[in-house]
């Protein structure tokens, strides 16, 4: 398998549930990103991991918890979410220093009920 793979594709969860989003890249990249895409809003950068270390956390609420166990995998752990957290969550990867842009996954459509 190549590129960036995100699972699940769709997720419906209650406000008291705990779930995780998974992202896997097979490109040998050394940086990974989580973005939130809401209707009629710009893409919001949530977290950046470079060489498996978190280098950016853009004031994201603590109910979102990222994890990067190695350079190929990135998780977003979710708990006690709010309905306004419903959105498309996109994962991306890149090779730092080469400026060829990101490679994106197809996203997880999250609905919080």
Partner 1 sequence: AQTVTQSQPEMSVQEAETVTLSCTYDTSESDYYLFWYKQPPSRQMILVIRQEAYKQQNATENRFSVNFQKAAKSFSLKISDSQLGDAAMYFCALTNSGGSNYKLTFGKGTLLTVNP
Q: Which of 57, 93, 100, 110 binds partner 1 (CB under 8 A)?
A: 100
Annotate 64-90 with b (16+ C-beta within 10 A) or e (fewer).
Answer: bebebeebbebbbebeebeeebbbebb
Q: Which stretch binds partner 1 (CB under 8 A): 15-23, 62-70, 75-83, 102-110?
A: 102-110
Start-to-end Cα distance in the chain: 33
Q: Which of 46, 81, 107, 112 binds partner 1 (CB under 8 A)?
A: 107
Residue 60 contacts partner 1 per CB under 8 A: no
Q: Which of 21, 48, 76, 110 binds partner 1 (CB under 8 A)?
A: 48
Residue 90 contacts partner 1 per CB under 8 A: yes
Residue 42 contacts partner 1 per CB under 8 A: yes
Our CB check for partner 1 shows the closer of 52 and 80 to be 52
Residue 75 contacts partner 1 per CB under 8 A: no
Say if residues 9 and 106 touch (Cβ distance below 8 Å). yes
DSSP 8-state code for residue 41:
S
What would the two tokens of residue 22 be?
Answer: 């998974």
């Amino acid at each position: 398998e190549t590129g960036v793979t995100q699972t699940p594709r769709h997720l419906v969860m209650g406000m008291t549930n705990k779930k995780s989003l998974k992202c896997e890249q097979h490109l040998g990249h050394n940086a990974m990103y989580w973005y939130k895409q809401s209707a009629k809003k710009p893409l919001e950068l949530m977290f950046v991991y470079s060489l498996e270390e978190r280098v950016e956390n853009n004031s994201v609420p603590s109910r979102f918890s990222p994890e990067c166990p190695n350079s190929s995998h990135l998780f977003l752990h979710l708990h006690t979410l709010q309905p306004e957290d419903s959105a498309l969550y996109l994962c991306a990867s890149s090779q730092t220093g080469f400026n060829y842009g990101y490679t994106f996954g197809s996203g997880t459509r999250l609905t919080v009920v």
